[in-house]
Amino acid sequence: MEYRKLGQSPLELSAITYGAFAIGGNMWGGNERKDSIAAIHASIDHGVTSLDTAPFYGFGLSEELIGDALVGKNRNKMQILTKFGLVWDGSNEGKGEYFFDATENGKAIPVYKYAAKQNVIKEVEESLKRLKTDYIDLLQLHWPDASTPIDETMEAMQVLIRQGKIRAGGVSNYSLEQVKAAAGTFNLASNQVPYSMLNRSIEQDLLPYTTAHNIGIIAYSPLERGLLSGKYFADATLKSDDHRNDYFGQFNPEKVKALLAALQPLAESKKASLAQLVLRWTSLQQGISVVLAGARTAAQAESNAKAMDITLTADELLFIRQELAKH
């Protein structure tokens, strides 16, 4: 495993960081608690020290599972990354920016983006309890909230740093202009954004800026929720309440299959799976600090961590880029 400094922050994260969205269960067709804990433990056993979660994942369940999984572990050797700013319990009293309706037990639950100072402070206290810890390594705004000035949100994170409740602050899903605004008032550690072989839009403007200004990039959905593993073109099936039934619709399946077919021989030459090759490629792209990889079983977690054992030459990286351009 490689360990990388996150921007100008004091944090050093594992290049493969455990993504805990799926173990929350909601939007992913449920979860198995035993398997989720085993996946976290397997990640740690194979060198993953950084775990990324959010209160919204499973309406608190994902954070609780991480808190339980870390009992008895050396907390000082782990980095907990969580978020704030999505409110689903009505505590925002109608304030903030309506986002979408989530579903739980067949019931629609309105979700709001809400990043006002008092809400940031409140959410962190709740997260600390669920995570069974007294500090968060990286606190991130989950989604931009147009109803709250950016400097107010950044001020809240500065207060939490002074209080010792967080070590660094970042954002997620921020545009270039939003990053510039946040960095103008706060020592911004990172921006967590989607980045994959199929979605490289940040290479146009955001990535050059964050690279030049030493702001970390945490890449999420590098496997496009599993699509780039190739298994959904084989015999894998999705439950009816799995959001990927709709998510996968944005991609051209024939083009994706053609790309994976072109990459398969290279993966085999490395004695690696397609998913491992994709993760390793993502980790090697300029300006990418760490790569999030979700796992719902111990086997998946081990496979993700071992992606960092793959060596890719300059010629092989060029070959991949050429195939991406074709497909």
Instruction: Please tell me the distance from the alpha carbon of residue 88 to that of residue 33, in angstroms, as a whole number.
Output: 22
Q: Kindly list the distances between the CA atom of residue 229 and the CA atoms of 179, 234, 275, 277, 317, in Å, as whole numbers in the listed order.
A: 31, 10, 4, 9, 18
**218: CATH:** 3.20.20.100
Domains held by the chain: number: 1
Residue 128 located in a structural domain: yes
**Angle between the 33-45 and 298-306 helix axes, to the nearest 10 degrees?**
30
DSSP 251-284: S-HHHHHHHHHHHHHHHHHTT--HHHHHHHHHHT
Q: Tell me the C-alpha distance between 111 and 145, whole Å.
A: 12
Question: Which structural domain range is residue 301 located in?
Answer: 3-227+274-311
Q: Do residues 192 and 140 make contact, with C-beta atoms less than 8 angstroms apart?
A: yes
Which residues have a Cβ under 8 Å from the Cβ of 46 and sit 6 or more positions away?
1, 301, 302, 305, 306
Q: Which two tokens stand for residue 87?
A: 């409110």
**Which residue(s) pair with 79 in the sheet?**
50
Contact 11, 53 (CB under 8 A): no
Amino acid at 287: G
pTM of the model as a whole: 0.92
pLDDT at 28: 46
Which position among 18, 57, 112, 174 bears the catalytic label?
57
Report if residue 263 sits inside a domain: no
Asked if the structure places residue 256 within a domain, the reply is no
pLDDT of amino acid 239: 59
| d(C-alpha 150, C-alpha 19), whole Å | 26
**Does the residue 196 lie in any domain?**
yes
Contact 69, 41 (CB under 8 A): yes
In a domain, 151, yes or no: yes
What pLDDT is recorded for position 24? 67
Is 265 contained in some domain? no
Over the chain (327 residues), the average pLDDT of each successive run of 10 is 96 96 63 84 97 93 93 95 94 91 83 96 97 97 97 98 98 98 96 94 96 97 83 58 61 82 95 96 97 92 96 96 89
What are 50's strand-pairing partners? Answer: 79
**Within-domain flag for 241:** no
57 has catalytic annotation = yes
